[in-house]
């Protein structure tokens, strides 16, 4: 049945978190169709059932990306955990049989979906705002720009910057641009705190050659972090050089738990950037919500729009996430901020189901023994979970 004689369906189904998905997997057409349905339902959902649908398509797409052979016969799709025996299997089968799915093409060209896609490409906009704009009769990015004054978002500066820099922020950031910016930021940080360790996470660490942003993770001992507030200091240094277009800093201090920091931050020098302190959620997270849809507890974080030198004009705006972690959190933050998102969902679900552990970007919590499990490296985290180590480029679920 399978072109790969070593393929063992039982083994493939035994543990989803053991699967590996490289970027250059063998079933792009099927995965693309399933990912489109995932995107459709995650943007256009009306009900909780629709949201669950989006998650089910995300799992189905991931399953297909993990298959170590190219599917040529629909029978090869039978019995795959997460692809299921319903809607997703039907679509996948159509693609294998005819290279085409009517439903996917209808959704792909759905007018409402196309508008939602455009709106959600505005930095700071998600499905609920997209829905509002659509109801107001907006359809295109031009509509948003033209009618911006009526949109009641002038106070929400994140979105107004998203609109103002719409074209810049939807131009993919290339690996070499990301690497140069990363080096620049790392050098700045090391001048402030020589012992700091940094890594370039997100899609680039998983092997992508372009992405929508740069994710930089910082690690420092707890004590030094408290002294420096390193992420804020790095942001301020960039600001002094005039490189900050917009930024939003958040910080949660103290023991893990509900923490609200309302202390004022030093004002930056740029006229047009904004600082907001945010509230970080309770930890450990519980309940039946999708944990990744919630904000993770992390010590320090700065979402920013920075200036990048551009060949055609003085600069263009790019998205950069600066994330702080203490040495004890670092391996967990590495995994969390490497992603991808679906891989993290899968790991977290597995940790919960198999061990009643709560996994996040700040640690692994044993809910039975009421203790945090220490880790020095990402491999330690996989060991705690009794999983084989997976390289970052195998985490493209």
DSSP three-state, residue 214: strand
User: Which positions from 294 through 333 interact with Mn ion, judged by CB under 5 A?
Assistant: 321
* 324 in contact with ligand ATP (CB under 6 A): no
CB neighbours of residue 100 within 10 Å: 11
CB of 23 to ligand ATP, least distance (A): 11
Binding part of the chain for ligand ATP, among 69-77, 190-198, 209-217, 219-227 by CB under 6 A, reads: 209-217
Interface characters, 337-376, with ligand ATP (x: CB under 6 A) = x-xxx--x----------------x---------------
The one among 203, 268, 304, 324 contacting ligand ATP by CB under 6 A: 203
What residues between 200 and 229 interact with Mn ion by CB under 5 A?
202-203, 211, 213, 215
Which of 211, 268, 331, 363 forms a contact with ligand ATP (CB under 6 A)?
Answer: 211
Q: And the tokens for 183? A: 């080096």
CB closer to ligand ATP, 249 vs 337 = 337
Residue 378 interacts with Mn ion (CB under 5 A)?
Answer: no
361 contact choice in ligand ATP, Mn ion, none (CB below 5 to 8 Å, kind-dependent): ligand ATP
- Sheet containing 244-251: order of strands: 197-200, 214-220, 315-326, 300-309, 244-251
Query: What is the smallest separation between the CB atom of 204 and Mn ion, expressed in angstroms?
Result: 7
Q: How many residues bind Mn ion (CB under 5 A)?
A: 6
**Looking at 110-118, 130-138, 266-274, 291-299, which segment touches ligand ATP (CB under 6 A)?**
291-299
| CA-based R_g, the chain, Å | 22
Give the count of alpha carbons within 13 A of 167, CB side only: 4
Contact (Cβ atoms closer than 8 angstroms) between residue 306 and residue 238: yes
Which of ligand ATP, Mn ion, none is residue 340 near (CB under 5 to 8 Å by kind)?
ligand ATP
Rounded to whole angstroms, how far apart are CA atoms 20 and 178?
25
Which residue, among 388, 359, 355, 385, has the nearest Cα to 372 in the 3D structure?
Answer: 359
The CA distance from 92 to 31, in Å, is 8
Pair 252, 295: CB distance under 8 Å: no
Largest CA distance in the chain: 65
The answer to whether 292 touches 341, Cβ cutoff 8 Å, is yes
Q: Are 351 and 345 in contact (CB under 8 A)?
A: no
- What is the size of the binding site for ligand ATP (CB under 6 A)? 17
Binder to ligand ATP among 70, 108, 184, 212 (CB under 6 A)?
A: 212
Q: Which is nearer to ligand ATP, 112 or 121 (CB)?
A: 121
Q: State the residues that interact with ligand ATP by CB under 6 A.
A: 202-203, 208, 211-213, 215, 292, 295-296, 336-337, 339-341, 344, 361
Q: State the residues that interact with Mn ion by CB under 5 A.
A: 202-203, 211, 213, 215, 321
């Amino acid at each position: 049945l399978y072109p790969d004689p070593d393929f063992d369906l039982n083994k493939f189904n035994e543990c989803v978190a053991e699967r590996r998905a490289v970027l250059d997997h063998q079933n792009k057409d099927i995965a693309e169709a399933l990912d489109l349905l995932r995107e459709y339902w995650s943007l256009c959902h009306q009900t909780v059932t629709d949201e669950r649908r989006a998650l089910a398509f995300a799992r189905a797409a991931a399953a297909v990306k993990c298959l170590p052979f190219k599917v040529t016969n629909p029978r090869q799709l039978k019995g795959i955990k997460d692809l299921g025996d319903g809607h997703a299997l039907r679509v996948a089968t159509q693609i294998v049989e005819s290279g085409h799915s009517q439903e996917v093409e209808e959704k792909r060209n759905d007018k409402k979906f196309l508008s939602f896609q455009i709106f959600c490409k505005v930095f700071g906009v998600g499905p609920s705002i997209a829905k509002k704009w659509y109801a107001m009769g907006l359809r295109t990015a031009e509509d948003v720009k033209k009618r911006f004054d009526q949109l009641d978002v002038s106070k929400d500066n994140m979105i107004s910057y998203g609109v103002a820099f719409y074209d810049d922020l939807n131009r993919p950031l290339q690996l070499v641009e990301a690497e140069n910016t990363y080096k620049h930021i790392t050098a700045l940080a090391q001048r402030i705190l020589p012992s700091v360790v940094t890594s370039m996470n997100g899609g680039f660490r998983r092997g992508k050659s372009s992405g929508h942003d740069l994710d930089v993770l910082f690690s420092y001992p707890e004590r030094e972090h408290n002294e420096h507030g390193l992420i804020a200091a790095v942001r301020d240094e960039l600001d002094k050089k005039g490189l900050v277009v917009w930024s939003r800093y958040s910080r949660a201090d103290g023991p893990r738990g509900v923490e609200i920091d309302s202390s004022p931050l030093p004002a930056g020098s740029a006229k047009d950037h904004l600082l907001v302190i945010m509230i970080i959620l309770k930890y450990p997270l519980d309940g039946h919500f999708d944990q990744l849809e919630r904000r993770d507890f992390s010590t320090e974080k700065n979402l920013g729009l920075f200036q990048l030198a551009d060949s055609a004009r003085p600069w263009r705006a790019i998205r950069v996430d600066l994330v702080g972690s203490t040495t004890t959190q670092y391996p967990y933050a590495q995994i969390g901020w490497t992603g991808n998102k679906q891989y993290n969902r899968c790991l977290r679900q597995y940790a919960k189901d198999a061990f009643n552990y709560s996994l996040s970007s700040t640690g692994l919590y044993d809910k039975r023994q009421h203790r945090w499990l220490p880790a020095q490296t990402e491999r330690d985290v996989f060991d705690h979970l009794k999983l084989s180590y997976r390289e970052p480029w195998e985490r493209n679920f």
